[in-house]
Structure 1
Amino acid sequence: MMEAKKRMQLANEQATYLPTARELADGSARASARLSFSPYWWEAVSREAEDGDSFLPRRCDVVVVGSGFTGLSGALTLLRNGRQVVVIERGRAGFGASTRNGGQIGSGNQKFRVKKLIAIRGRKKAEEMLREGTRMLDHIAALISQEKIECHFRRCGRFRAAVRSEHYEAMAQDMRDLKDIAGVESSMVPRSEQSAEIDTDCFFGGSLLPNDASLHPALYHAGLLDRIKAAGGKVLAYTPARHITRAGPDFQVATNRGVIVAKDVVIATNGYTDGLVPELGRRIVPIGSALIATDELPATLFDRLLPRNRVYGNTNRVFFYFRGAPDARRIIWGGRVGRLVPAQSLAAVRHLAGDMLHVFPDLKDIAITHAWDGQIGYTYDEVPHIGCTRDGIHYALGYCGTGVSRATYFGTKIALKVLDKPEGRTSFDDLTFPAYPAHPVAKHAVPFVETWYRIRDAANF
C-alpha cells in the first residue's frame, strides 16, 4: 500500500514538475519538465477564434498575405476605406511573431546611434527617419485608443542598461543627439541611482525613454482581428499562398483552397517571408528570437526587482530584453534563440535563464513555466522597407526586431499607398532595398555571426 502511494506521489510530481531558473541555466533540469513550449500570451486568447473564415471568395479588391500586425492594420485601413479585403495566412491567424514578441513598443529608432545613421543616410534623411519613428509610437497609441482595443497598453517608459561603463557615456551622447535631431525626450540614470529603476548591481546606469510603451501582444492582435471581422473583412487561416501571377490588370493568388483574383496584393510576412515573391525573399533573412516566462513572483520580490515596472534592454551586440507581464507578477525574458540545439527544447532557452540570473540572482528558485520562439525579419541594411515590386505587388516588411510599432505603422501606410492616398508617403519610400549577397549563405551564417558577437560582448571589443 505504501509503495503504491509513493509511486502515485512520484507520478504526480513528474506530471507537474517545472524547472527552476537555476536548473534551466545550469542544465540540471530533468527531462520530464512540463513547461509549456508555447507563448505565455496565448493563454489570454481563444486560439480557436483566430482560425478565421473557411470560405475563399473568387474575387476581392485586395489580398493581404500575412495576418500579423502589418497585415491586420493594413486590412483594417482598407476596410475603413470601403475596400473588400481577404487576409490569408498559412497557419493560424497571428501564429508568427505578432503573438510571440515581448510586447515592448518603441519608436523603432534603436538599431543605429544617431551619428551612425547620419553617416549612412545624411543628416536630412536621418532626421526624417528618426522623426517618423516617433510618429510610429504615437500612431499605435492612437489606433488602440480609437479602436478601443483592450490590450494593457501603457506608456511605461524604457530603461536601457549600460553593460559597461564606457557604454553609459556613449549612450548619453546618443540621447543628446536624438533630442537635437528628432526632439526625443530622455534622461540618463547613473549607476548610483539605478536602484530606483532596477534592483541589480550588474549594470552601469542607463538611459530612460519615458514615452516608450508596452502591451499584451496576443490581446492586441485579437483586438485587430475582431475589428476586421466586424468591418466585413475575411481572414482565412491555414490558407498558404502558393503562387501569385499577373492577369492583365489583376492578380491571381493561388492557394490550397483555390484561386482568388484581386486588384492588389500586399505581402506582409516579415520574418516568415519565403520564396513566394523571389524579389522579396532575397531581401529578408529570418533570425530566431526566444523568450521564457517565470512563474508568478511574490509581490514584494517583483516590486523590488522592477520598482517602476518598465520595459528593459541592454547595450550588448547580442542583447537581451525583459519586462513584467501586464496581467500577472511574472517576468518575460527574451533574447536570441539557442543555436545548434533542438528547437523547443530546454537547451534552446538555457542561455536566457543564465542571462536572467546574472541580472536577478534572487530568481534562482523561481519556476520557468513557458518557453517559445519566433522569427524576426532582418534586412541587409537593418531598416524596414515599404513599396512595390517590379510586378506591382505591394509590401511592407523587415522590422529587424522592433516590429510592434513599425509593423502597425507600415501596415497602415502600405494600405494608404494601395488607396493612392498622399497620406501613405513615408521617409522610407525612396530607400534602396538591397538584396543579401549570396542569400542562402547569409541565412546559414546567422549562428556564426551571433557567436562572434557574443565573443566580442564578453571580451569587450
Structure 2
Amino acid sequence: MDVDETRQAAIAAEEPPALTVGGLARGRITSSLGLTYRPYWWEAAPRPQATAALPKEADVVIVGSGFTGLSAALALLRNGRSVVVLERGVPGFGASTRNGGQIGSGNQKFRVKRLIELRGRRKAEALLREGVRMLDHIDELVRTEKIDCHFVRCGRFRAAVRPEHYEAMARDMQDLRAIAGVESFMVPRAEQATEIGSDVFHGGSVLPGDASIHPGLYHAGLMRRIAEAGGHVVGNAAAEAIVSDAATFTVKTPLGVIAAKDVIIATNGYTDGLVPELSRRIVPVGSALIATGEIPQSLLSRLLPRNRVYGNTNRVFYYFRAAPGERRLIWGGRRDRLAPPTSPRAYRHLARDMLRVFPDVDAVPVTHGWDGMIGYTYDEVPHLGRTAQGLHYAIGYCGTGVSRATYFGNKIALQLLGRSEGRTAFDDLAFPSFPAHGVAKRAVPVVETWYRVLDATKR
C-alpha cells in the first residue's frame, strides 16, 4: 500500500460509518451515524437567509411563500399589481420545498364512482376535468416562465398491494377515462417487471401524463421571476394580526405593519390561528421523506426501469422516485409522531417500507431525512374563496399540492382581479369545519395507526 492509499485508508477509518437503509430499518442506530435533517432538494436550491425590508404598502399582501402564494404573486404582478409575500421563516421553508416532487392531475382522493355518489355526475366530471387542467397549467407555467426545474412527463405507476386492489384500480381507470378523458393502462403482475423491479406487488396502473419536478428548483425559479417582476418576498415576517376597515387591510408583522387593498391567505398545512374561520377548517398532517446516497446505475435501472413516479394502494401509502439527474431514491410517507424529526427513528418506518419493496438497497446509505405538514380538509377537497372578513384564500390540498397549489394560486389571483378566467368548479363547494377541531388534530396519529392495522390485516 503506497502513501496515498495509506492516507485515504486512515481518513476513511476516522469517518463515522454510514447509516444504511438496512441499518435504519432494523434500528441499528447510534449517535455517530450522520443524517442531514433538511430536504434533499435544498442541496441544489438553498433557502435564502436574508430578510428584505418590509414595504409600507402594496396592492396585495400574500401570507405564505409556498407554491400557492408564489403562483398568486406572479399572476398579480403580470397584471400590474404590486405584491408583497410574507413568510414566517425563510421563504420556501414549508411543504412546497419538502414534498416528493410528484405531480398528478389533481384528481380527488376518491374513486370516480365514490365521487359521483358524493357530488353527482355533472360536478364529479367538472372536478376531474379541472384536475387535468391543473397538471397542464403547471406544465405551461414552467415552459412559459422558462424555469429550469427538471419538469418531466414521466408517468406514474401505482402498485397494487393486493389482488383485489388491482381489480378495483382497473375499474376506476376505466371510469376515469370515460368521465374525464384521462389516459391510463393496467400492468398485470406477470408484466410488472417492465415497470418496477419488485415482486411484492400485484400489478398496477400507469398514468402516462403524470409528471415529476425538482420542487426546490421550481420554488427558486418562481422566486426569481417574482423578483424580476418587482415583487417582494419577505422572510421572518409572520403575519401576526390582520385588521380591516372599509378600504384597506393592515397586516402586523415582527418587522412592522403593511397596508394593502387585498390579502390572500396561502398557508395550507401551516395554517394557524391567524384567521379562525380558516384554521378550524384545516388539520395539519405530518409527512416525512428520506433520500439515499447514490446507487449503481445498473441497480437503479432494474428497480425503476421506466424512471416514473411511484406509489401504492395502502390507506397509509408510501411514494417514491429517483432524484432528477442523480442515482438516488427519494422515499416518502406519513411522519412518525413518536420520534422528533431530528432523530433517525423518525424515518425508520420509511426505510422498512423501502427495504420490503427493494431488498437490494440494504447497504445503500441514507443521507437525508426531513418532514413537512400537509393541509387536510374535512371533505378531502381543496378550497378557495373569500372569508367573511374579505380575505381571499386557497388551501387544503390533502397531499397533492404541487399541481393544486400552483393552479389554485393562479385562480385565486384572477378571482381577486375580478377576471372571469378565475372561475373554477370548486367555487361553489361548501367548506366544512372539522367537528371538534382540537380533537380532530389530536386524533390524527390514532387514525393513522388504525389504518396501518387495516392495511396489515388486509381489510
Query: Do the structures match in fold with TM over 0.5?
Result: yes
Q: What is aligned with 2:105?
A: 107
Q: What is aligned with 1:20?
A: 20
Q: What is aligned with 1:382?
A: 380
Q: 2:90 is matched with which residue: 89, 92, 98?
A: 92
Q: What is aligned with 1:45?
A: 45
Residue type of the partner of 2:181? G
**Alpha-carbon offset, residue 284 of structure 1:** 0.4
Q: In the TM superposition, what whole-angstrom CA distance separates every residue of 1:258-314 from its partner, at most 9, and x where no partner exists? A: 111100000000000000000000000000000000100001001111000000000
C-alpha separation between the residues in 1 aligned to 2:416 and 2:14? Answer: 55
Correspondence 1:434-449 to 2 at 5 A: 434-449=432-447
C-alpha separation between the residues in 1 aligned to 2:54 and 2:248? Answer: 17
Q: State, as a whole percentage, how many aligned pairs show the same letter.
A: 66
Q: What is aligned with 1:373?
A: 371
Residue type of the partner of 2:197? D
Q: 1:216 is matched with which residue: 214, 217, 237?
A: 214
Residue type of the partner of 1:239? A
C-alpha separation between the residues in 1 aligned to 2:96 and 2:13? Answer: 35
Q: CA separation of 1:414/1:29 partners in 2, compared to 1, >3 Å: closer, same or farther?
A: same
Give ranges in structure 2 of 5+ residues lacking alignment.
Answer: 1-5
Q: 1:158 is matched with which residue: 156, 159, 172?
A: 156
C-alpha separation between the residues in 2 aligned to 1:231 and 1:269? Answer: 23
Residue 191 (structure 2) pairs with residue 193 (structure 1): yes
Q: Is the contact between residue 270 and residue 399 of structure 1 (CA under 8 Å) also seen in structure 2? A: yes
C-alpha separation between the residues in 1 aligned to 2:158 and 2:346? Answer: 25
Q: TM-score, normalised by structure 1?
A: 0.96
Q: CA separation of 1:409/1:13 partners in 2, compared to 1, >3 Å: closer, same or farther?
A: farther
Q: What is aligned with 2:3?
A: none
Q: In the TM superposition, what whole-angstrom CA distance separates every residue of 1:7-42 from its partner, at most 9, and x where no partner exists? A: x98996564432111110010122211110111000
Correspondence 1:217-236 to 2 at 5 A: 217-236=215-234
C-alpha separation between the residues in 1 aligned to 2:263 and 2:453? Answer: 43
Residue type of the partner of 2:26? D
Correspondence 1:59-98 to 2 at 5 A: 59-98=57-96
SS where residue 276 of structure 1 aligns? coil
Correspondence 1:310-389 to 2 at 5 A: 310-389=308-387
Residue type of the partner of 1:21? V
The count of residues paired between Structure 1 and Structure 2 equals 453
C-alpha separation between the residues in 1 aligned to 2:108 and 2:161? Answer: 16
Residue type of the partner of 1:268? A
Residue type of the partner of 1:116? R
Q: In the TM superposition, what whole-angstrom CA distance separates every residue of 1:287-342 from its partner, at most 9, and x where no partner exists? A: 00000001000010011110000000000000000000002000000000112222
Q: Is the contact between residue 108 and residue 381 of structure 2 (CA under 8 Å) also seen in structure 1? A: no
C-alpha separation between the residues in 2 aligned to 1:169 and 1:373? Answer: 33
Q: What is aligned with 1:421?
A: 419
Q: Is the contact between residue 53 and residue 234 of structure 1 (CA under 8 Å) also seen in structure 2? A: no
Q: Is the contact between residue 38 and residue 368 of structure 2 (CA under 8 Å) also seen in structure 1? A: yes
C-alpha separation between the residues in 2 aligned to 1:34 and 1:12? Answer: 14
Q: CA separation of 1:363/1:419 partners in 2, compared to 1, >3 Å: closer, same or farther?
A: same
Q: TM-score, normalised by structure 2?
A: 0.97
C-alpha separation between the residues in 2 aligned to 1:164 and 1:251? Answer: 53
Residue type of the partner of 2:42? W
CA RMSD of aligned residues (A): 1.4
Q: Is the contact between residue 382 and residue 397 of structure 2 (CA under 8 Å) also seen in structure 1? A: yes
Q: Is the contact between residue 52 and residue 93 of structure 1 (CA under 8 Å) also seen in structure 2? A: no
Q: What is aligned with 1:411?
A: 409
Q: CA separation of 1:120/1:10 partners in 2, compared to 1, >3 Å: closer, same or farther?
A: farther
SS where residue 241 of structure 1 aligns? coil
Residue type of the partner of 1:255? T
Q: In the TM superposition, what whole-angstrom CA distance separates every residue of 1:87-127 from its partner, at most 9, and x where no partner exists? A: 00001100000000000000111511000000000100000
Q: Is the contact between residue 98 and residue 221 of structure 1 (CA under 8 Å) also seen in structure 2? A: yes
C-alpha separation between the residues in 1 aligned to 2:10 and 2:456? Answer: 42
Q: Is the contact between residue 51 and residue 236 of structure 1 (CA under 8 Å) also seen in structure 2? A: no
SS where residue 340 of structure 2 aligns? coil
Residue type of the partner of 1:127? E
Q: Is the contact between residue 75 and residue 228 of structure 1 (CA under 8 Å) also seen in structure 2? A: yes
